[in-house]
Amino acid sequence: MSNETSAADQLPFHQRKTEDMPGHWLLARLGKRVLRPGGLELTESLLDDAGIDGADVLEIAPGLGKTATAILERSPRSYVGVDDDPNAVELTKGAIGGRGRVLPGDASSTGLDDESADVAIGEAMLTMQSDRNKAKIVQEAFRVLRPGGRYAIHELAINPDTLPDEEKTEIRKSLARSIKVNARPLTEAEWRKLLTDAGFEVTKVRFAKMALLEPRRVIADEGLGGALKFVANVLRDGDARKRVLAMRSTFTKYKSHMAAIEVIATKPGKSA
Ligand SMILES: C[S@@+](CC[C@H](N)C(=O)[O-])C[C@H]1O[C@@H](n2cnc3c(N)ncnc32)[C@H](O)[C@@H]1O
């Protein structure tokens, strides 16, 4: 128990009250470690498609450092993570154990050199930004990548592209209310436009079910033991249970209009 308490104390936003805590950090406190809409499976295809072997890799917003370890298993030439939360920086440093660098910084101005990376990876972070910040972060990824470099994102999509604006707004507002983060998922066409406006060519798009809190996905992502621990923690804590059920019911209500999306966007030009 004391180990669990001290691990929870290292999480971002750990001092916030349960009712106000950003949904992903609340889930992390309860033991859910995979915090992306398409789960580990979409992360695996994202990393396969990005081409990590021998590459200089930038991970934008590594969070708990889970993807960082998966990246390192694929033999990159180098790894650097940039997260604006000091706790996330320390957690990722702990996860990678000296096999790369983790820097505090904003994704829209990383301080890294122009054309210093072959791959930039960002999961479950652009969705939570305003339109203006999304554009700035994508431009920063473009600047840092070498020609031929790949920007690989795993985010939340709304579908179909033709969904009326009022319905998109309703979904965004409902999500923001339940996860307590200003979530602004985009349609596939809007994700593509965001990337091509910055100069990228979209070279691959894949979808997966948005099933973050569905039992089968929780077991696939956390393992049976981790899933049971998560459920026990949810059952033990009434305030947290209320929040998790509210998030789950929002995801269920809009499930026919939400999906996890992977996009690989390539910076034009020949790789050296
Ligand atoms: C939901 S977590 C996702 C973490 C990780 N990518 C994953 O999929 O497990 C979002 C992460 O984005 C980071 N973040 C949000 N906005 C950021 C920004 N503008 N610059 C750098 N990091 C940011 C947060 O600190 C957090 O670690």
Q: Give the per-residue pLDDT at 10.
A: 77
Q: Give the per-residue pLDDT at 1.
A: 35
Instruction: In whole angstroms, give the CA distance from residue 264 to residue 121.
Output: 9
Q: Is residue 187 part of a domain?
A: yes
Mutate to test the pocket of ligand 1, among 79, 103, 125 (most ligand atoms within 8 A of CB): 125
Instruction: Look at the alpha carbons of 175, 153, 108, 168 in this order and tell me if their dihedral is positive or negative.
Output: negative
pLDDT mean values, one per 10 residues, the chain (272 residues) = 52 79 89 91 97 98 96 98 96 96 98 98 96 98 98 97 96 93 95 98 97 91 94 92 92 95 95 62
Ramachandran sector of residue 233 (left: φ over 0; alpha: ψ -120 to 50; beta: rest): alpha
CA of 252 to the centre of ligand 1 (A): 24
User: Is 259:206 a contact under the CB 8 Å cutoff?
Assistant: no
Instruction: In whole angstroms, give the CA distance from residue 22 to residue 10.
Output: 15
Q: Give the per-residue pLDDT at 58.
A: 98
The boundaries of the domain holding residue 218 are 2-266
Please give the tally of structural domains in the chain.
1
Q: Is residue 272 part of a domain?
A: no
Q: Give the per-residue pLDDT at 57.
A: 98
Q: Tokens representing 255?
A: 């499930």
Q: Is residue 271 part of a domain?
A: no
Instruction: In whole angstroms, give the CA distance from residue 257 to residue 117.
Output: 35
Q: Is residue 210 part of a domain?
A: yes
Kindly state if the Cβ of 125 falls inside 6 Å of ligand 1: yes
Which are the contacts of 103, defined by CB distance < 8 A and separation ≥ 6? Answer: 80, 81, 82, 89, 110, 111
CA of 146 to the centre of ligand 1 (A): 23
In one-letter notation, the amino acid at residue 83 is D
Q: Is residue 78 part of a domain?
A: yes
The answer to ipTM > 0.90 is yes
Nearest CA to 106 among 84, 132, 91, 87?
84
pLDDT digits (tens, 9 = 90+) for 152-195: 999 999 999 999 999 999 999 999 999 998 899 999 999 999 99
Q: Is residue 74 part of a domain?
A: yes
CATH number at residue 244: 3.40.50.150
Strand 78-83 to strand 56-60: parallel, antiparallel, or no bridges (unpaired)? parallel
Q: Give the per-residue pLDDT at 2.
A: 39
CA of 35 to the centre of ligand 1 (A): 10
Kindly state if the Cβ of 90 falls inside 6 Å of ligand 1: no
